[in-house]
Amino acid sequence: MPPGLDRLDHETIVGWLREADPAVLERLWARADAVRAAHVGDAVHLRGLIEISNHCIRHCLYCGIRACSDGVTRYRMTAAEILECAREAKRLGYGTVVMQSGEDPGLTREFIADRVRAIKAETGLAITLSLGERSDEDLKAWKGAGADRFLLRFETSDPGLYHRIHPSLPGTLSDRVAQLQRMRAMGYEIGSGVMVGIPGQTWEILARDIELFRDLDIDMIGIGPFLPSPRTPLGGEAAERLRASADEQVPNNEEATLKVVALTRLVCPEANLPSTTALATIDPATGRELGLVRGANIVMPNVTPPAYRVLYEIYPGKACIHETAEACQGCLERRIRSIGRTVGSGPGGRRRSGPAAVTSSLLPTSARGRGDPRPGRH
């Protein structure tokens, strides 16, 4: 029997993830799009992404800019360059800038706080940070300086898989879920996300990822396919060993990614979901659009100067890597209009509204207010 849509418990989510019949999947796509329209509307909000540094002290097994990647020319943008990118985002009509980097202690507490203050004062844009695992002191200082949101993907909810692909720093145990919860308490809107098709990832794990989005009430959720980088262990033999260890390896393809996007929209109807660059990378022709018609409502055009952009190669063939900010803007606006949607204005933060009729029967007993609901901590 095909899975239902009215009670998305664990078994039903796994059932949908395993579903392969295109006619049955049409029901999932249609419902995700209806829930997206009812809860976050037709406007697609644009966030200007500034990749401010590709220095990184971590050794994530999947990431092309990991500390020990050979042949990566490292850069750190200057204060003036970052401000110029924020001005560009403002000129292009975006409501938010996202400052993203590797985990780079060279980006000091003071440096980032000063950038946040300067961008806020001049542009008034909403400011999202995505700077990896940082101390509470750093995070509080940046919130105090005016940062609004922080993105930190937990990558997978499975503690075993997480620690295999994401080694901790000596003397500390990496716990991104705990950092997300602390940031929420500090007043940040919190963003997270996962990769789909990580070697060793099963449908069961992926279903728990989706449940964790719901249980943590994540405001922004980025979902993209895992793309092997030949510069990394997961671009080579280690990936084969991990894949062999999973009884039911999730493929890192477009359909699997879109299923996760659609199911996430159903369990987190109000969240902001980007149609990710990784999705556009595996399907340059229609990946962005398919994300947007199967649950997503956000796009993050890159406003990093092209000379730096090419050095921020976390996986090969990254979409738009050679484009200018204007080219991306024009291209994305066309794509958004081609599917009958509008470009959003304003900051486009998380909306918290009353339930709309279309989803009231979809939500399982509310995840809010249950003690600590995590299936496993990192």
Assign residue 246 a region: left if phi > 0, alpha if psi is -120 to 50, beta otherwise? beta
> Which of the stretches 14-22, 211-219, 224-232, 305-313 binds ligand 5AD when contact is defined by CB under 6 A?
224-232
Would you call 101 helix, strand, or coil by DSSP? Answer: strand
Considering the complex, state which of residue 98 and residue 363 has its C-beta at the smaller distance from ligand 5AD. Answer: 98
Identify what 51 binds: ligand 5AD, ligand FES, none; CB under 5 to 8 Å per kind. none
Provide, rounded to whole angstroms, the least separation between the CB of residue 98 and ligand 5AD.
Answer: 10
Pairing type for strands 96-101 and 298-299 reads: unpaired
What is the footprint of ligand FES within residues 224-263 (CB under 6 A)? none
DSSP one-letter code for 341: -
Considering the complex, state which of residue 193 and residue 344 has its C-beta at the smaller distance from ligand 5AD. Answer: 193
Cα separation of 140 and 179, whole Å? 12
What are the residues facing 302 on neighbouring strands? Answer: 49
237: enclosing H helix or E strand: helix 237-245
Site map 313..352 versus ligand FES, x via CB under 6 A:
-------x--x---xx--xx--------------------
Distance of CA 375 to the CA centre of its chain: 21
Considering the complex, state which of residue 160 and residue 230 has its C-beta at the smaller distance from ligand 5AD. Answer: 230
Cα dist. 146→3, 130, 143, 150, 183 in Å? 45, 14, 5, 12, 14
Binding of ligand 5AD at residue 56 (CB under 6 A)? no
Place of tokens 């080219």: 327
Cα separation of 179 and 370, whole Å? 19
How many Cβ atoms from other residues are within 10 Å of residue 376's Cβ? 12
Identify what 229 binds: ligand FES, ligand 5AD, none; CB under 5 to 8 Å per kind. ligand 5AD
Considering the complex, state which of residue 14 and residue 227 has its C-beta at the smaller distance from ligand 5AD. Answer: 227
Cα separation of 89 and 299, whole Å? 13
Considering the complex, state which of residue 331 and residue 356 has its C-beta at the smaller distance from ligand FES. Answer: 331
Number of amino acids touching ligand FES (CB under 6 A): 6
Provide, rounded to whole angstroms, the least separation between the CB of residue 63 and ligand 5AD.
Answer: 4
Identify what 323 binds: ligand FES, ligand 5AD, none; CB under 5 to 8 Å per kind. ligand FES
In one-letter notation, the amino acid at residue 83 is: L
User: In this chain, which of 97, 261, 278, 293 binds ligand 5AD, going by CB under 6 A?
Assistant: 278
Identify what 227 binds: ligand 5AD, ligand FES, none; CB under 5 to 8 Å per kind. ligand 5AD
Would you call 283 helix, strand, or coil by DSSP? Answer: coil
DSSP one-letter code for 73: P
Q: Which residues contact ligand FES by CB under 6 A? A: 320, 323, 327-328, 331-332
Q: Which residues contact ligand 5AD by CB under 6 A? A: 62-63, 153, 155, 195, 224, 226-227, 229, 278, 314-315
